[in-house]
Amino acid sequence: MKAMTQREVPEIMTDLRQDLIHVPTVIRQCTGIRIFGKRIKSIVYSTDIAIIRNIDADAVIAVYPFTPHPTITKSITEAADIPVFSGVGGGTTQGKRSVQMSSFAESQGAIGVVVNSPTQPETIADIFDTVDIPIVATVTSIYSQIDEKIAAGAKKILNVSAGKETAKVVRAIREIYPKIPIIATGGPTEESIAETIEAGANAITYTPPSNGELFSKKMTKYREKERVMADDEPLNH
């Protein structure tokens, strides 16, 4: 029997789990962020419970383009088997509602709350005074109010989502704040992810294929299997 080397990682898998979604391996090159003892490198960007339950990411960032609602937060945190960063608004949803959503997210077990880029420093300060989990402040461009957000209480984590400029923005933040934890979108390729990590991101958010895209591939396999089993004979009518 071949001896296992020190760097080999034993893996347990079953036939029913073979369709697990894997995050890009390059993400493992980043340092990660340790939150309450849990080291997080890869973060799936999704609110789809089926996706969340079938991906090997370290955590999930559950933000969406609607007014945050307790039912959505509760459903995701209960279904997820990985830590959840819960979106609490800050764009259309401001002030007390964002604070209330933050308190609810904490009570449901979220590991952190995510505020949108337009969130006012006053709202961040109120959330900071209310919850005992990290505030993740979203940065969408080099023009975001980064200094004000950090001063208001977003001392824990920045979430950079600046499209094709993400690596550039991460690099600029790193020059001013060399130690602040940064989550950043990695982009569509391993090269863009590697660039973002090199720029200074500690953790990477990954957008998985949609449920529809995944099911389309599976249906193609099903059709091919049926064709082979039928020995190329078409349906008889």
pLDDT tens digits, 37-77: 999 999 999 999 999 999 999 999 999 989 899 999 999 99
pTM of the model: 0.87
Specify the amino acid at residue 62: A
Strands 182-185 and 157-160: parallel
Residues near 27 by beta carbon (within 8 Å), at least 6 away in sequence = 41, 42, 186, 193, 197, 204, 206
At 55, phi and psi to the nearest 5? -140, 150
- Please give the Cα distance from 56 to 52 (Å, whole number): 9
* Encoded tokens for 166: 């993400």
78-129 pLDDT, tens digit each: 999 999 999 998 766 678 899 999 999 999 999 999 999 889 889 999 999 9
